Amino acid sequence: MSQTTSNPTNDDQIEFWNGKAGEEWAERNDQMDRMLAPFRDAAIAAAKPRPGERVLDIGCGCADTSLSLAKEVGPDGQVLGVDVSGPMLALAQHKAEAAQLSNCLSFEEADASAYGFDEGAFDLLFSRFGVMFFADPPGAFANMRKALKPSGRVAFICWAPVFDNDWVMVPLAAALQHIPAPEPAAPHAPGPFGLSDKVYVEEMLEIAGFSNIAIEPFEIMMRVGAGVEKDKIADFFMEMGPVSRALTNSDEALSDTVRAAIQAAVEPHYADGAVNLKGSCWIVTANNA
Ligand SMILES: C[S@@+](CC[C@H](N)C(=O)[O-])C[C@H]1O[C@@H](n2cnc3c(N)ncnc32)[C@H](O)[C@@H]1O
């Protein structure tokens, strides 16, 4: 794993994913992987990786999807996981070694929007929730497209608009009864919902040079915080994901009040060891032109 230069306009995100967010994601990795497994399976089904293929897993994080992709492409294939987060990649490397997949799975600590990929080397550009954080999405996708063979394809899953994601809206609405609402983000600003506008995603991929773009909805009841005890479930929302981001600048003195409000809002949805709330995404596929 080596370190490379990055696009300076992504500095905020790089700092964010190397700070508390990346550390907590790595600490809660088992819970996150369990929660996101249905999205992994749906995105990989859309990507259709084949034995012997070379795959890029962008924003691979702790490598749950990279490991699955490595098993799909087999010993004659290759997967390269690219991510900016040191703490998440350290766990990724450890998991690849433990699974004895290091021969066909490697990692690069790099900003995918600026990294000098081997040109025309990959069959598939894949991501589960790792491509919504670019300051310049068309530029980033154009850079990643250069890594694809002429016959290559892209497949990724990203969140649909926040208002369709109850797993965010239910705890967030409870928190916002006690803290000021964050400044509304600029359209398509880097963040979990940066690619939630379907029309924008299609235009953006066209500008980046992709063709045959398909954007399909994927909606499930998520099992949020699986394995967390019912009376501690508010902590999960306060530490992980979009709700924790909204709380970043909130008054610490209020945190017990906010925790109690989130707990009361999500507890009615707790069943079989997890909070069951709707998650809504887009599964995006396209071909290299
Ligand atoms: C929501 S997490 C998803 C992680 C992983 N794909 C998963 O599903 O478990 C987003 C990931 O994108 C990575 N990321 C953000 N900006 C990036 C960039 N410019 N280049 C590469 N990775 C980036 C973050 O470090 C983080 O690991």
Whether 285 lines ligand 1, by a CB cut-off of 6 Å, is no
Angstrom distances, CA of residue 142 to CA of 18, 115, 197, 206, 237: 25, 11, 19, 10, 34
Per the structure, the count of domains in the chain is 1
Q: Which CATH number is 67's domain given?
A: 3.40.50.150
Whether 3 is in a domain gets the answer: no
What is the extent of the structural domain holding 93?
8-288
- 251 CA distance to ligand 1 middle (Å): 28
- 84 CA distance to ligand 1 middle (Å): 7
Whether 182 is in a domain gets the answer: yes
Whether 196 is in a domain gets the answer: yes
pLDDT at 2: 46
CA nearest to 108, candidates 89, 130, 127: 89
Whether 241 lines ligand 1, by a CB cut-off of 6 Å, is no
Whether 79 is in a domain gets the answer: yes
State the closest ligand 1 atom to the C-alpha of 192, by its place in the atom list counted from 1.
1
Q: Are 91 and 21 in contact (CB under 8 A)?
A: no
Averaged pLDDT in 10-residue chunks for the chain of 289 residues: 59 95 94 96 98 98 98 97 98 97 95 97 98 97 98 98 96 90 87 97 98 98 92 91 75 84 96 96 96
pLDDT at 4: 46
Whether 154 is in a domain gets the answer: yes
Whether 117 is in a domain gets the answer: yes
State the closest ligand 1 atom to the C-alpha of 85, by its place in the atom list counted from 1.
25
DSSP per residue, 197-212: -HHHHHHHHHHHTEEE
- Ligand 1, residues 13, 141, 159, 193: which to mutate, most atoms within 8 A of Cβ? 13
- 111 CA distance to ligand 1 middle (Å): 10
Global confidence as pTM: 0.95
Other Cβ atoms closer than 10 A to 270:
19
Which residue's CA is the nearest one to ligand 1's atom 18? Answer: 111
pLDDT at 255: 86
Whether 2 is in a domain gets the answer: no
Whether 1 is in a domain gets the answer: no
CA nearest to 140, candidates 190, 94, 104: 190
